[in-house]
């Protein structure tokens, strides 16, 4: 599954501005949290974590729906860096700690959202040069089930998520935990 043997995997989960009934169009959604963990694929342990909230520019006021979903408050995004600065901080963390070749997320949403936010500001995507692994698809294949959400993946295993679902960092931690909780999943990722 990975392009070459790699001792570490980067797992990323983003949160973005949103409203009920998609009243914020997909093209106008903006990242409000970057959560990421590096996982040692030999021990399946999380070896490093990154979290940054991000101040949105198009829709600077979070909806009650968004805060209810993600737990991210208006005060947190008001105090956070704009995307260009947050993205530079994330890129610096990656450059200092991760040498690829792949990053991963649950589904393809996070990849598209990162490309959208970087494209809007003509920023270099920090994942340029890395291939992307859709762990939702890999999990479904490994366990021979239909692809499902993260919470459903935990229910399937009879396991509990830790932290708060829809917090970017906690989601990234939980995605990474699935590797240790489902050996067939880890084997498929390593393949
Ligand atoms: P997640 O990683 O599942 O927490 O979702 C990432 C982002 O997708 C969220 O921050 C929202 O912007 C959007 N999103 C997720 N679930 C919903 C939902 N039920 N309704 C509207 N937007 C959602
Ligand atoms: Mg999330």
Q: Of all protein residues, whose CA lies closest to atom 14 belonging to ligand 1?
A: 18
> What was the pLDDT predicted at 119?
98
Task: Please give the pLDDT value at position 34.
Answer: 99
With H, G, I as helix, E, B as strand and everything else as coil, classify residue 79: coil
User: Which ligand is nearest the CA of 170, by number?
Assistant: 2
Ligand 1 centroid, distance to 14 Cα (angstroms): 9
Nearest ligand (C-alpha, residue 28)? 1
- Below-70 pLDDT ranges, the chain: 1-6
Q: Tell me the C-alpha distance between 90 and 84, whole Å.
A: 10
Instruction: Give dist(CA 22, CA 37) in Å, integer.
Output: 29
**N-to-C CA span, the chain:** 5
Q: Which ligand is nearest to the CA of 106?
A: 1
> What's the gap in Å between 45 CA and the centre of ligand 2?
20
Task: Write out the E strands in the chain.
Answer: 8-16, 31-40, 46-53, 102-105, 131-134
Query: Ligand 1: residues within 6 Å at CB?
Result: 13, 15-16, 18, 29, 69-70, 166, 171
Q: What is the distance in A from the centroid of ligand 2 to the CA of 5?
A: 27
Amino acid 22: pLDDT: 86
pLDDT at 21: 87
C-alpha 147 chain-centroid distance: 17
Atom of ligand 1 nearest to the CA of 150: 3
**Cβ-based burial of 128 (10 A; exposed 0-12, middle 13-18, buried ≥19):** exposed
* Length of the chain, in residues: 191
* Ligand 1 pocket test target in 11, 16, 106 with most atoms within 8 Å of CB: 16
Considering the entire predicted model, what is its pTM? Answer: 0.96
For residue 59 the two structure tokens come to 């829709």
Q: Is 127 exposed, middle or buried (0-12, 13-18, 19+ CB in 10 A)?
A: buried
């Amino acid at each position: 599954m990975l392009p070459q043997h790699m001792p570490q995997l980067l797992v990323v989960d983003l949160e973005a501005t949103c409203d009920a009934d998609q009243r914020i169009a997909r093209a106008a959604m903006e990242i409000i949290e970057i959560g990421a963990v590096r996982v040692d694929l030999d021990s399946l342990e999380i070896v490093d974590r990154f979290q940054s909230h991000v101040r949105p520019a198009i829709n600077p006021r979070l909806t009650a729906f968004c805060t209810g979903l993600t737990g991210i408050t208006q005060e947190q995004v008001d105090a956070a860096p704009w995307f260009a600065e947050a993205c530079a901080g994330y890129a610096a963390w990656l450059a200092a700690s991760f040498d690829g070749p792949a990053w991963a997320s649950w589904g393809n949403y996070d990849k598209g959202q990162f490309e959208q936010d970087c494209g809007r500001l003509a920023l270099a995507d920090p994942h340029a040069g890395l291939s992307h692994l859709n762990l939702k698809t890999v999990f479904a294949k490994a366990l021979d089930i239909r692809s499902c959400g993260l919470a459903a993946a935990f229910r399937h295993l009879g396991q509990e998520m830790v932290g708060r679902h829809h917090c970017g960092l906690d989601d990234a931690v939980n995605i990474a935990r699935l590797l240790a909780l489902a050996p067939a999943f880890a084997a498929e990722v390593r393949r």
